[in-house]
Homo-oligomer: A and B are copies of this chain.
Amino acid sequence: MEYSIQETARAAGTTSRTLRHYDSLGLVRPSRVGGNGYRFYDDRALVRLQRVLLLRELGLGLDRIAEVLAAQDARGEGSDPAAAEATLLTAHLELLTRERGRIDKQIGAVRRTIAALTSPHERTGLMNANMFEGFDHTAHREEVSERWGKDAYAKSDRWWRGLTGGEQQQWQQDVAALNADWSAAAAAGEQADSPVAQALAARHIAWLEGFPGAPSGEHFIPYVRGLCEMYVADERFAANYGGVSGATLVRDALRIRTAS
């Protein structure tokens, strides 16, 4: 069977404009083009279109989709196309998971902002940076600036001063809880590779990821490891984790966590 562009679009739940777009990209070519220039699609083309739309619903970009389909076309039956697609989808899954984490953080931030706005006793004045127990970046301005650049410092400082008092308190509580758990783990003699320590390491990394001014991508792990060295070397940091022994536990656990 052969379908007109509109029929094809309706069958696939999209628009003719999209079909022309995909044609111009070479992503889904019509099976036949009439002498009048009209596009016609057969079942094979329709299946390909549906695959494209499916992958697009999974959130992949058109360029990536083209790669997937090209790879599968190339290895007709030889290798394992399913494995290739699974690998690509797994990578994509990570992106999605990170994206969800980002959204969750935004939701948290908006919720706290609303809470602070509607709380009667909170004035929204800017508070001094000393409230930032456990990671007072004003006190450690030089380290942060030197190691990660002025931008990181300015960004983090701007972020902090932009928070309301309520949000700052919330943040502090989160930090305090994490630090307390680390201290307790260290006091309990947990090993760096124990489930408890690794769970804390995961939390710690998630916290650092949410820290504004933190580098992303390939710079993130070196950044984390650098911070850990600072925890151990600088007793002002180490104190937050129950002293040098606690900071050492943090460092070792995070090293293991970031090893892969």
Contact = CB atoms under 8 A, between A and B. Distances in A.
Interface string A26-44: 0000000000000000010
B43 A164 contact: yes
A162 B89 contact: no
A191 interface: no
Place the interface of chain A in its size category. Answer: 35 or more
Contacts of A83: 117-118
A85 B46 CA distance: 48
Interface string A163-185: 01110011001000000000000
Contacts of A189: none
B107 A89 contact: no
B110 A58 contact: yes
A169 B47 contact: yes
A32 B57 CA distance: 48
A126 B13 contact: no
B10 A126 contact: no
A82 interface: yes
Interface string A66-85: 00000000000000011101
Contacts of A104: 100
The winner among A50, A90, A126 for most chain B CB atoms within 10 A is A50
Given A82-B126, A124-B82, A166-B11, A50 B158 contact: yes
A28 to B, nearest CB: 14
A21 interface: no
A199 interface: no
Interface in A83-119: 83, 85-86, 89-90, 92-93, 96-97, 99-100, 103-104, 106-107, 109-111, 113-114, 117-118
Interface of A: 10-13, 43, 46-47, 50-51, 53-54, 57-59, 81-83, 85-86, 89-90, 92-93, 96-97, 99-100, 103-104, 106-107, 109-111, 113-114, 117-118, 122, 124-127, 129, 150-151, 154-155, 157-159, 161-162, 164-166, 169-170, 173, 212-213
Given A13-B154, A51-B162, A89-B114, 11 more contacts: A11-B158, A11-B170, A12-B154, A58-B109, A58-B113, A59-B110, A89-B117, A92-B110, A93-B107, A93-B110, A93-B111
Q: Which 9 A-B pairs have the closest CB atoms?
A: A13-B155, A54-B162, A13-B154, A86-B117, A82-B117, A100-B103, A50-B169, A13-B158, A96-B107
